């Protein structure tokens, strides 16, 4: 089986695939314009968040049998269309969970203690202790929107730090140690809200002006899930009118953004979609990608 690696994958696991008899070519800088000319020669492809696999690309690849996404989400792939063409679509839902959860928790701590602004202050050679009175996160209520693999890992860490965890997830009926509530109940109760759900037709724009109006004044919001779940214009308004005290964003509706106004606010911190960018997560992703492709090739 011939496999094209379209995005960064650990070399150790590329060699593991080759040792198992797969023909593996690495083009982890391939452009969207080049893909339709190159991919038709391959049976399988490996992608991360950079490479998008849309219907038009699938249509010119009659030999394609499997797409493996190194990561949890499938929103960068027209996966239902691919499956309708007999193409297997796989991902690695567990590999990134701990890394994304740690980033979400880290963001909560940064907002609670104004660490970004405090660091900028001392780097500017100021010693302005009175400007950085913070809050403990222990004793606060964390509202999780989505309690899949990553949400559960966030809940574990938050509980250890003394937070009360409530969650909204329409696809989960019961979960040990977490109180499930309606979305409106979560919005009213939570001091921190952290999103951990895929971007779908149902979740796109689900947090907008109506939802911000129902939130506790001074809430802080973390999004390490997918851009577009939060209406960014509504978030900007909530951040500037005092409804939302702070937001921490690893993902955006457009990546990279073309409108940077959110990130220019003093009460917003962000990062360039790095939730899974740890050495440990990258190794787990590579291992899981290799295992799935090798198993598929033997069927």
Query: Strands 244-249 and 66-69, how do they pair?
Result: unpaired
196 annotated active-site: no
Give CA–CA dist 250/135, Å, rounded: 22
Catalytic residue selected from 69, 157, 273, 284: 273
Per DSSP, the three-state class of 38 is: helix
Give CA–CA dist 103/110, Å, rounded: 10
Q: Are 53 and 81 in contact (CB under 8 A)?
A: no
280 annotated active-site: no
273 annotated active-site: yes
Catalytic residue selected from 15, 202, 255, 280: 255
Identify which of 1, 198, 231 has the alpha carbon closest to the alpha carbon of residue 100: 198
Q: Are 161 and 114 in contact (CB under 8 A)?
A: no
Catalytic residue selected from 226, 232, 284, 288: 226
For 28, which DSSP code? Answer: T
User: Does residue 65 have a cis bond before it (omega within 30 degrees)?
Assistant: no
Give me the helices (H) in 25-180, please.
35-38, 55-59, 79-84, 97-112, 115-123, 149-160
Buried/exposed code over 47-81 (b: 16+ C-beta within 10 A; e: otherwise): bbbebebeeebbeebeebbbbbbbbbbbbbbbbee
Identify which of 166, 176, 169 has the alpha carbon closest to the alpha carbon of residue 148: 169
Neighbours of 126 (CB within 10 A): 11
Q: Are 190 and 145 in contact (CB under 8 A)?
A: no
Q: Which positions are catalytic?
A: 226, 255, 273
């Amino acid at each position: 089986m011939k496999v094209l690696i379209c995005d960064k994958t650990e070399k150790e696991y590329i060699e593991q695939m080759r040792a198992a008899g797969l023909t593996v070519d690495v083009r982890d800088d391939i452009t969207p314009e080049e893909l339709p000319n190159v991919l038709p020669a391959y049976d399988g492809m490996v992608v991360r968040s950079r490479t998008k696999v849309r219907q038009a690309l699938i249509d010119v690849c009659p030999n394609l049998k499997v797409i493996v996404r190194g990561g949890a989400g499938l929103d960068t792939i027209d996966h239902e269309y691919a499956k309708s063409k007999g193409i297997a679509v796989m991902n690695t839902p567990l590999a990134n969970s701990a890394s994304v959860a740690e980033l979400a928790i880290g963001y909560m701590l940064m907002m609670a203690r104004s660490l970004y602004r405090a660091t900028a202050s001392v780097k500017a050679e100021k010693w302005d202790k009175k400007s950085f009175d913070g809050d403990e996160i222990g004793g606060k209520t964390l509202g999780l929107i989505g309690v899949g693999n990553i949400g559960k890992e966030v809940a574990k860490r938050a509980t250890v730090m003394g937070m009360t965890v409530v969650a909204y997830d329409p696809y989960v009926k019961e979960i040990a140690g977490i109180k499930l509530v309606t979305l409106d109940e979560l919005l009213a109760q939570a001091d921190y809200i952290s999103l951990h759900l895929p971007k779908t037709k149902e979740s796109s724009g689900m947090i907008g002006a109506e939802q911000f109006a129902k939130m506790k004044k001074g809430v802080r919001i973390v999004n390490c899930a997918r851009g577009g779940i939060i209406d960014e214009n509504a978030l900007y308004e909530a951040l500037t009118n005092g409804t939302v005290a702070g937001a921490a964003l690893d993902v955006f509706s457009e990546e990279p953004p073309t409108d940077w106004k959110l990130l220019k606010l003093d009460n917003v911190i962000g990062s360039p979609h790095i939730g899974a960018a740890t050495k440990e997560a990258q190794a787990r992703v590579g291992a899981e990608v290799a295992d799935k492709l090798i198993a598929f090739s033997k069927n």
